[in-house]
Every structure is written in C-alpha cells, then in structure tokens.
Chains A and B, each alone.
Chain A
Amino acid sequence: MKIFLKVGTPVFLFLFMILLMISGLRREEHLEVEFNGNILCLSCIGIE
C-alpha cells in the first residue's frame, strides 16, 4: 500500500497535469490572446 501510494501519487498527478496542459492548449487559444500586439509586453518592461 505504501509503495503504491509512493509511486502512484506522482504518476497520477503527472498524468493529470499533462491532461490539464493539453486541454488548455486546445481550448484557450492563448497564443492569439496573449501576444496579439506588443502593448502588454511594453507595459511589462515599464512603459505605459
């Protein structure tokens, strides 16, 4: 049981995170939203 928890927990968490990552890549389309224009980036380097 202890070994199962020790091995199973990270493996389960890793698979969950990978699925979360892939689902985000598909649906959020953050490539378009995030970097459409330089305004956000200029803001982040300290320019209004």
Chain B
Amino acid sequence: MHRNRIAERTKKVSVSRRVIQILSTLGINSYIPDFQKFSIYQGPIKGLCAPGLNCYACPFARTSCPIGSLQHFIVIRQFPRYVLGYIGAVGVLFGRAFCGWLCPFGFLQELLKKLSKFRVKVSKAWGNLKYLLLAIMIPAVFFTYEPLFCKLCPAGTIEGALPIMLSPLWSDLSSLISYRFVVKILIAVLFVVLFVVIRRPFCRFVCPLGAIWGFFNKMSVFRFSIQSEDCIKCDLCQEVCPMDIRIYEDPNHYDCIRCLKCVYACPKNLIRLEALGAPVIKPGSSKERPRVSPQL
C-alpha cells in the first residue's frame, strides 16, 4: 500500500528524469554508422566528453568517455586540461547529478534493475572500492602506457563490442580476438546479472567518474540540506534511492546522484535542494503536495 503512495509522490520527478535520461542517451548515441563498415563516428564533437560513462568505441557515440579520454591523455603524457576542466566544472556545479540524470550507463542499470523485484543488499563498505580502483588506475595507466580501465570496462563491451559483434565488420575482427576479449565478455555478463539484482552496482562500487564527481557533492553549487532534528528516520528516502543511501545521515553523501526522489518521497518534507544556500526545490511549498504522514 505505502509503495503506491511513494510512487505517486515521486512520479513527476521520476518521469522527468526518465525522459531526460532517454534524450541524453539518444543524443549522445545519435550517429548512424555505415552499416557495412560500422566504423565509429570521428567528427568534430567526438573530442568532447559525454555527460557520463559512454564508451567512444560505440559506433553510435558522438562524444567520448571522460574516463577513456583521461586515460588517453595520461598515456600520451599530456596534462588532460580539457577533461579535468570538464569533470571539475560539472562537479563544482552539480556534484554527481549527471550520473543520475544524464549518464547512459546509469540509465541502463536502472532499466535492467526493473526486470526484477528481487533486491540484494550490499555492504556500504563496497562503496570504497571505486576510490581504490581510481587510486590504482591513474598510476597504473601512467606506468603501463595502456588505458587499463577501458580494457576491463563493461560499458565498452555492452556499448562498443556488442554492436560491432552484430555488424558485418565482425567477420574480419573475430580472428583478432584474444583472451582479453573473453575476460571482457565475462566481466560484462557478471555486471549485467548484478544490474538486475543490485541497485546501480557499477555506479556505487566501480565507476571512477562517479568517484571523482562524488568528491564534489559536499562543495557543489547545488546541494541538499535536511532539517535532521525533525527526521523520523522512516527510511523512505533509502527505499526510493537508486544508490541505496540514507540521505538523513549525510545529505551530500559521496554517492548521491541528486535524482531528487528522496526530496519528494520524504513524508515530512524535510529535504530540500539548494543553490549556494538558497532553496531551489522546497517540498511542501506547493499546494499540490500537502504534508502526509508515513504509513509503514
């Protein structure tokens, strides 16, 4: 019963977010390749970073992956000013909001999670894995001259390898596959299974881009604030959260993707979105949304 009430309250923001995610995914992957060659898009905007993890090996991709580009610049020994500036500017303005609203790989994870109601709870400690991976990745790429994260990333397999495997180009390429291709396929299959049973596992435990943007959550222009003294700790915020966060414990948690579902799910209307301290979304101020008591 209370599930329906939460769904009703968060419906507007959920639909808006879904529409934006679809538009973002289609916009980033709007290139129609030559289906005989299936060669990737190499036009002028390919050097611009995507607003999320979207492999530039994808034949439909018009933009590049920020993490792929970052590694590329480390490999060629150039300071990645554009990539760092882009990641930093987005982070300072929105924190991790791009993960929640624009990232195609995050969108894919949310779609696959809808296939099953079954939900596996994972220890919060696993969230530290992405920082460890980020700390290992940068020196490892520097010393090996290889974009190592890309070589294992499931986004590359799903968005890049899969469409190419289905193309006529694959008959020429299949003779070139090595053990690494098999490893990539196995990693991608493992993640697809995890996507069905765990909420956004790649974003929470692995994504280096999310790890970097997460650092900005506490200092970004757009932030959450909570009147925590009135919080009844009903955990409805956690129930609707795609990242499984208790927002009342830390309103600007490193993993918060600013999806705004908790803002609308909170029965006491205690969570609000602020820009430089001024309220932007203040629930309960609308006549359409009277305060309600939780029925748990």
Contacts and interface: CB of A to CB of B under 8 A. Distances in A.
Nearest to B89: A17
Most chain B CB within 10 A, of A9, A24, A36, is at A24
A10 B221 CA distance: 6
B76 A41 contact: no
Tier of interface size on chain B: 35 or more
B40 A41 contact: yes
In the A-B complex, the 10 residue pairs with the smallest Cβ-Cβ separation, listed nearest first, are: A21-B85, A24-B82, A24-B81, A20-B85, A17-B88, A31-B47, A46-B181, A41-B57, A17-B89, A46-B184
Where chain B touches its partner, the secondary structure class is helix
Contacts of B183: 46
B169 to A, nearest CB: 10
Contacts of B93: 10, 14
A33 to B, nearest CB: 6
B276 A48 contact: no
B214 interface: no
Interface of A: 3, 6-7, 9-11, 13-14, 16-25, 27-28, 30-31, 33-36, 38, 40-48
B73 A30 contact: yes
Contacts of B76: 33
B176 interface: yes
28 contacts: A3-B277, A6-B277, A10-B221, A21-B82, A22-B85, A24-B80, A24-B81, A27-B81, A28-B82, A30-B69, A30-B72, A34-B64, A34-B69, A35-B40, A35-B42, A35-B56, A36-B42, A41-B56, A43-B150, A44-B56, A44-B160, A45-B55, A45-B161, A45-B164, A45-B181, A46-B183, A47-B176, A47-B178
Contacts of B127: none
B86 interface: yes
Given A7-B276, A20-B81, A45 B92 contact: no
B185 interface: yes
A40 B76 CA distance: 12
B220 interface: yes
What does DSSP make chain A's interface, helix, strand, loop or mixed?
helix
B46 interface: yes
Contacts of B173: 42, 47
A44 B57 contact: yes
Contacts of A30: 47, 69, 72-73, 78, 82
B208 interface: no
B83 interface: yes
Given A28-B81, A34-B64, A35-B46, A44 B220 contact: no
Nearest to A13: B92
Contacts of A48: 176, 178, 180
Contacts of A10: 92-93, 219-221, 276
Given A28-B82, A45-B157, A20 B88 contact: yes
Given A28-B78, A41-B160, A44-B156, A21 B151 contact: no
B82 A46 contact: no
B181 A47 contact: yes
A6 B274 CA distance: 12
Interface in B176-191: 176-178, 180-181, 183-185
